[in-house]
Amino acid sequence: MNVTVRRNAMIVYAALLTLSILWAALILAAPWLMAERHFLASAVIYKGFSAVCHQAPERSFYFHGRPMGVCSRCASIYAGFIIGLLLYPFLRDLREDRFPPRWILIGAAVPTVIDFAGGVLGLFANTFLSRALTGVLFGAVAAFYVTPGLVSAFNDWRADLANHKARC
Amino acid sequence: MELDWKQPALVGGVIAGLLSVIPLISLANCCFCAWLLVGGAVAANMLIKRTPRPVRSGEGAKVGAMAGLIAAGIYSLISLAMVVFGIGQDVQQQQEALNRAAEMTDDPQVREMMQRLIGMIANQTPAQRIVFALVILMMVSALYVGFSTLGGLLGVALFEKRRDQPPPPQYPPGYPQNYPPNYPPNYPPQYPPSSAPSGPSEAPGGSGGDQGGWPQG
């Protein structure tokens, strides 16, 4: 039983890390493909990311002379998520399927919200550095909530599947 | 215990799907897919309120993913209808985006290629337009499911406040659980008030009291 739970957790962690890295690679691929003159592929990726980000060039990091697929805040959140995932096995048991206390998540979101709201309300101008730092913090903490959730979901799914097979 | 997934997923999905296609309001999705996160969190919150036991994080992810699927279905149907009937500014938007990209480069060869691509998009047949829209919709649907799952997970993390409570007792199969309210009869027993103070001679755990025991009233 313990071995199964550990294996499930490893599968979820490896899949999540792979998907996150692929996601980040797509963000970088959009400008790279544009620079390499693969315009259609680049346009499809930019268009896909437009569903989740405003992609304003003046608020984006540049790669190969072109703006990345998402803005600097989003890119930082994704980068932070990968950092959080890489740190996760050193700080928590992979088999853990319960969330850390919720105040940590709320606390990590507060700087991002303040930075975003300050910019929108015109109270202060946020910078690339502020967007990057607050985004990385939130993304890294979010990884500690997403991973146990998906581990729990995967455990449930495997248990349901085993029950279904036993009934058949 | 079987959970009632359908209604929370439907409500969360409809909220996320509709808000993602209404012009102007849908702009909030540019902020980390806000409506999808909200839809997933609403579904998780509804599930929490309808479930007598603590909802696990995996169940939040599951209801969030279902809400995301429904939202993606709504978004895809409306978007495809708009493409088929030529409603909306999709083609024009694509051209404008490519024009902007073309202006960003000084390389004449790149500009020429971009202009050719803009021409290609302008001369698309309806079938080509639908294929292009389908590719984009598949990407967007995957994003919707992913972000809504995230919303469901975060919803459980934020709204489930019963996590530290002990789980309800697990009865063996076939054990009757529908006792009448005053069963067993004459329980707890009513003892006459004792005048003697309870001292150290009392058996530990004998009277329950602060140490737990049968709930009173």
Mapped to the 3 state alphabet, what secondary structure does A141-153 carry? HHHHHHHHHHHHH
Instruction: Say if A56 is an interface residue toward chain B (CB within 8 Å).
Output: no
CB A149 within 8 A of CB B153: yes
Residue type, A7: R
Q: CB-CB: which of B57, B135, B156 is closest to A44?
A: B135
Instruction: Say if B98 is an interface residue toward chain A (CB within 8 Å).
Output: yes
CA Rg, chain A, in Å? 19
ipTM of the shown complex: 0.78
Query: Which two structure tokens, joined as six digits, stand for B63?
Result: 């209801």
DSSP code, position B31: B
Of A12-26, A68-82, B199-213, the one with minimum mean pLDDT is B199-213
DSSP code, position A53: B
Secondary structure of residue A101 in the 3-state scheme: coil
CB A94 within 8 A of CB A6: yes
Task: Note whether B32 contacts A77, CB cutoff 8 Å.
Answer: yes
More confident residue, B122 or A79: A79
- Given phi > 0 = left and psi -120 to 50 = alpha, else beta, which region is B180? beta
Distance CA B112, CA B110 (A): 5
Taking a contact as any Cβ pair under 8 Å apart, which residues of chain B between 105 and 124 contact chain A? 109-110, 113-114, 117
In the prediction, which pLDDT does B49 show? 92
Instruction: Say if B30 is an interface residue toward chain A (CB within 8 Å).
Output: yes
- Give the tens place of pLDDT for each residue, A142-163: 999 999 988 988 888 888 888 8
* CA A82 to chain CA centroid, nearest Å: 7
Instruction: Say if B135 is an interface residue toward chain A (CB within 8 Å).
Output: yes
What is the value of pTM for the model shown? 0.74
Peptide bond into B204 cis (omega under 30): no
Secondary structure of residue A67 in the 3-state scheme: strand
Secondary structure of residue A165 in the 3-state scheme: helix
- The range of the structural domain enclosing residue A128 comes to 2-167
**For helices A128-167 and B57-84, what crossing angle results, to 10°?**
100
Q: Where do the structural domains in chain B lie, given as residue ranges? A: 6-159
Instruction: Say if A34 is an interface residue toward chain B (CB within 8 Å).
Output: yes
- Give the tens place of pLDDT for each residue, A22-77: 999 999 999 999 888 888 788 888 888 887 888 888 899 999 988 999 999 999 99
In the prediction, which pLDDT does A25 show? 96
Q: Does position B185 have pLDDT exceeding 90, yes or no?
A: no
As a 3-state breakdown, chain B gives helix, strand, coil percent values, each rounded to 5, of 60, 0, 40
In the block, which residue shows the tokens 């409603």? B87
- Give the tens place of pLDDT for each residue, B115-142: 777 777 677 777 777 787 788 788 888 8
In the prediction, which pLDDT does A9 show? 92
| Residue partners of B123: CB distance under 8 A and separation at least 6 | none
Confidence of residue A85 (pLDDT cuts 50, 70, 90): very high
Q: Does position B207 have pLDDT exceeding 50, yes or no?
A: no
Which residue of chain A has the CA closest to B139?
A48
Q: CB-CB: which of A48, A102, A152 is closest to B56?
A: A152
CB A97 within 8 A of CB B58: yes
Distance CA A66, CA A60 (A): 9
Task: Note whether B33 contacts A34, CB cutoff 8 Å.
Answer: no
Helix segments in chain A, DSSP class H: 2-35, 39-49, 72-91, 102-121, 128-167
A52 phi and psi, to 5 degrees? -120, 0
Helix segments in B51-125, DSSP class H: 57-84, 90-103, 108-122
CB B16 within 8 A of CB B148: yes
Instruction: Say if A91 is an interface residue toward chain B (CB within 8 Å).
Output: no
**Residues of B in Cβ contact (< 8 Å) with A70:** none
Instruction: Say if A53 is an interface residue toward chain B (CB within 8 Å).
Output: yes
- Give the tens place of pLDDT for each residue, B96-119: 666 666 666 666 766 777 677 777
Max avg pLDDT among A133-137, B107-111, B189-193 = A133-137
* CA A142 to chain CA centroid, nearest Å: 8
Question: Is residue B108 classed exposed, middle or buried when 0-12, 13-18 and 19+ CB atoms within 10 A define those classes?
Answer: exposed
Residue A129 vs residues A66, A82, A134: alpha-carbon distances, Å: 19, 19, 8
Task: Note whether B58 contacts A54, CB cutoff 8 Å.
Answer: no
More confident residue, B27 or B19: B19
Cα distance from B33 to chain A (closest Cα, Å)?
5
Instruction: Say if A38 is an interface residue toward chain B (CB within 8 Å).
Output: no
Instruction: Say if A154 is an interface residue toward chain B (CB within 8 Å).
Output: yes
Of A69-78, B52-61, B169-178, the one with minimum mean pLDDT is B169-178
Residues B134, B137, B139, CA angle at the centre, nearest 5°?
115
What is the overall mean pLDDT for chain B?
Answer: 76
Query: Which two structure tokens, joined as six digits, stand for A13?
Result: 């962690």
How many folded domains does chain A comprise? Answer: 1
